[in-house]
Chain A
Amino acid sequence: MEKSEKIPLQKILIICSKANIEDVYAALVMGNGAVMEGIETKIFFTFFGLDAITKKQMNKLHTATVGNPGMRMPGGLAFPTLLGALPGVEAGVSAMMKKQMDALDIPPVDEFLELITAGGGEIYACKLAMDMFKLTKDDLHEEVSDVITVGDLYEMCDGPGTQIVFT
């Protein structure tokens, strides 16, 4: 039988540009999952994704209750947009979501970053977005390895078996 050569995934770079709970956790779960498999993992946070590694914001992420067609009431009924716009609703829904995640042993963002770096994963912040939001390295969680440029990011993508994922 002819054997086709398979190159297993060796390195993955995950880019997270949004601050919604679901976008940040998609990046963290995928990144941590890669670390767990022994894949070299780097997660790059840019634009609003920087919230996930900014000390002040990282554990206060929200999900959108307005303009989110996936949002439903308990029981499955559509979530009325006007209800989602009321003060406190988004915070309440976000808190409920975090509680459900905690029940599944999904850690809060800061602990998740520590878990990823404990396994050798690396966390990076985008320099341009940092400048835009007037953030400094001191504003970031200590698990962030470095603030880097797009060029630095691409330099890290060398080698066969490397993939980039943008969330």
Chain B
Amino acid sequence: MSTKTIAGVEVSVNEEGYMEDASQWTKEIAAEIAKEEGIELNDKHFEVIDFIRNKVAAGDTLTIRGIGKSGVVNAKEFYQLFPGAPLKKATKISGVPKPTSCI
């Protein structure tokens, strides 16, 4: 475990840059991590982030299928919002652990 200063706040992150304490997360931190991933966050991104944070807080497993059926975005929009590896990027920006799901 190490710490990293993101948006002026010292947060604990793992070796891949995922935050280890979801309660340290703020929107400013999200914007900063997103920038590192090459993403400029808009309202739609934050709707998805909210959904992800709630899901994780509830102890549910995150899958792209699940997010695609969330009513917030469909799978295609999710891929467009977080291009490349959406589940990995979106969770990193949301300040939650990297998902262990294969689907």
Chain A residues in the interface with B (C-beta under 8 A): 29, 32-33, 36-38, 104-107, 111, 114-115, 118-120
8 A-B pairs closest in CB distance:
A38-B84, A118-B75, A118-B76, A38-B85, A119-B79, A105-B63, A37-B85, A115-B75
Q: Does the CB pair B102–A29 fall under 8 Å?
A: yes
> Do the beta carbons of B84 and A115 come within 8 Å of each other?
no
Tell which of B64, B66, B74, B83 touches A36, judged by Cβ atoms closer than 8 Å. B64
How many B residues, CB 8 Å from partner? 20
CB atoms of B64 and A115 under 8 A apart: yes
Within 8 A of A (CB), among B10-66: 61, 63-66
Residues of B within 8 A of A120 (CB): 79
Is A118 within 8 A of B68, CB to CB?
A: yes
The interface of chain B, by Cβ under 8 A from chain A, is 61, 63-66, 68, 74-76, 78-79, 83-88, 101-103
List residues of chain A with CB within 8 A of the CB of B78.
Answer: 118
Interface contact A105-B85, CB-CB below 8 Å: no
Q: Say whether chain B's binding surface is mostly helix, strand, loop, or mixed.
A: helix
A106 to B68, CA, bound (A): 13
A32→B68 CA distance, assembly (Å): 14
CA–CA, A130 and B77, complex, Å: 33
- A39 closest partner in B (C-beta): B85
B76 close to A105 (CB less than 8 A): no
Closest to B78 in A: A118
Determine the chain B residues whose CB is within 8 A of the CB of A118 once the complex forms.
68, 74-76, 78-79
B65 touches A107 (CB 8 A): yes
Summed over the interface, the residue pairs from A and B with CB atoms below 8 Å come to a total of: 43
A111 vs B66: C-alpha distance when bound (angstroms): 12
Beta-carbon contact of B65 and A36 below 8 Å = no
- Chain B residues with CB under 8 A of A107: 65
Contacts of B83 on A, CB cut-off 8 Å? Answer: 38
Determine if A114 and B64 form an interchain contact, defined as CB atoms under 8 angstroms apart: no
Cα separation A106 to B101 with both chains bound (whole Å) = 11
Residues of chain A with a CB closer than 8 A to B76's CB: 118-119
Given B63, B75, B88, B101, which contacts A119 in the complex, CB threshold below 8 Å?
B75
Known contacts A105-B66, A107-B65; is A33 also within 8 Å of B79 by CB? no
Contacts of B74 in A (CB 8 A): 118
9 A–B pairs (Cβ distance < 8 Å), ordered by A = A29-B102, A29-B103, A37-B88, A38-B83, A105-B66, A114-B75, A118-B75, A118-B78, A119-B79
B65 near A115: Cβ-Cβ < 8 Å: yes
Bound-state Cα–Cα, A29 to B79, Å = 17
User: In chain B, what residue has the closest Cβ to A37?
Assistant: B85
